[in-house]
Amino acid sequence: MKLLRSQPRRRTPLPNQVVRAFLLLFAAALCACRTVPGTGRSQLNLASESALSEQASAAFAQMPKANDPAGLARVKAIALRVITAARTAPKGYGDATLPPPAAWEIAIINDDKPNAFAMPGGKIGFNSGMFRLTPTDEDIAVILGHEVAHVVCRHGNERVSQGIAAAVGAVAVDQATRDQSAEKHQQAMAAYGAVATLGVILPFSRSHESEADQLGVVYMALAGYNPAQSVTFWQRFSKEPGARMPEFLSTHPSDQTRIQDLQKLLPMAQKIYSAQQVKAPAR
Ligand SMILES: [Zn+2]
């Protein structure tokens, strides 16, 4: 692509496709808004959940599974309690449409990086490398509570929807500035990219992580695991080499922010946990 054009280009109106794409996106946004459980935030869900679930199944099937029956049995037992809590959580914190616990596919992924994930449609992957940071069942409940909360909040769908909206916006900026000099056009495109990434996509991702933390401690408490362990776990995780990123550019909140936010949530989560202990003291 040429960096400088000698002649300014003739002004052309926005093509019909761009106008149509915007109108379609606007109409879709009007009917695809959903309220996130627990926080009440409004989110955009443009993608079909069943299509996402199919894609997730295909990706999950390709992942290398570890042969660790004892580790798998441990993660499964905790996951079943956390999923039950997420399906039955009161006051709009849960999602009764989640697949029932027995329908979830759970696997230990043969990967030394400490990581875990949950996918739309009911899949949980727990990396073998995560076990070195999870000496207690409470630690595993912290992770599973957080990951199941991402599914309840449909964060995967929202990320896809943001990608669609950002792509439509990029086409519009491209078209709107195409008559300016190539330099100005490039500057406008670069500015749009920075605003879309730092102003919309990353902060939304950080809000996703905070929402998952917030609902995650509720689910672990309802499942009978002490939510105080969430602070201990994230403190341990933050000492893991390579687990930290500068907050400004990261999709995750800084460890310090996350731990402070969790400490604020603990009194509420402890109340839920204590109520569970009265109901089911044998756990
Ligand atoms: Zn997360």
Residue whose structure tokens are 């109340």: 271
Rounded to 5, what percent of the chain is helix, strand, coil? 60, 5, 30
Task: Note whether 126 and 75 are within 8 A (CB).
Answer: yes
- Residue of 115, 87, 91 lying closest to 102 (CA atoms): 87
Q: Which helix (H) or strand (E) is 261 found in, with range?
A: helix 255-279
Nearest-angstrom CA–CA distance, 38 and 228: 19
CA of 206 to the centre of ligand 1 (A): 9
Task: Note whether 164 and 25 are within 8 A (CB).
Answer: yes
Angle at 133 between CA 269 and CA 113, to 5 degrees: 120
Task: Indicate the angle between helix axes 182-194 and 155-176, nearest 10 degrees.
Answer: 160
CA of 283 to the centre of ligand 1 (A): 27
Which residue type, as a one-letter code, is found at position 175?
Answer: Q
Residue whose structure tokens are 């995650």: 216
CA of 27 to the centre of ligand 1 (A): 30
In three-state secondary structure terms, 78 is: helix
- pLDDT score for 2: 40
CA of 146 to the centre of ligand 1 (A): 6
CA of 191 to the centre of ligand 1 (A): 28
Nearest-angstrom CA–CA distance, 37 and 54: 23
CA of 212 to the centre of ligand 1 (A): 6
CA of 195 to the centre of ligand 1 (A): 23
Residue/partner pairs of 127-133 with CB below 8 Å, 24 or more apart: 128/66, 128/68, 128/71, 131/71, 133/233, 133/236, 133/237, 133/240
Two tokens at 235? Answer: 């403190």
pLDDT per residue, tens digit, the chain (283 aa), is 444 444 445 555 555 555 555 555 555 555 567 888 877 788 877 777 788 888 888 889 999 999 999 999 999 999 999 999 999 998 788 888 899 999 999 999 999 988 898 988 899 999 999 999 999 999 999 999 999 999 999 888 888 777 777 777 777 777 777 788 888 887 777 777 776 666 666 666 778 888 999 999 999 999 999 999 999 998 898 888 755 544 444 555 677 888 899 999 999 999 999 998 887 654 5
CA of 13 to the centre of ligand 1 (A): 43
CA of 26 to the centre of ligand 1 (A): 28
Looking at residue 93, the DSSP 8-state letter turns out to be T
Backbone angles phi, psi at 65, to 5 degrees: -90, 140
CA of 253 to the centre of ligand 1 (A): 10
Nearest-angstrom CA–CA distance, 105 and 7: 60
In three-state secondary structure terms, 136 is: coil
How far CA 279 is from CA of 150, 229, 269, in Å, comes to 27, 21, 16
CA of 155 to the centre of ligand 1 (A): 9
> Which sequence spans correspond to the domains of the chain?
47-279
Residue 42: Cβ-neighbour burial (10 angstroms; 0-12, 13-18, 19+): exposed
CA of 136 to the centre of ligand 1 (A): 20
Backbone angles phi, psi at 3, to 5 degrees: -80, -35
CA of 192 to the centre of ligand 1 (A): 26
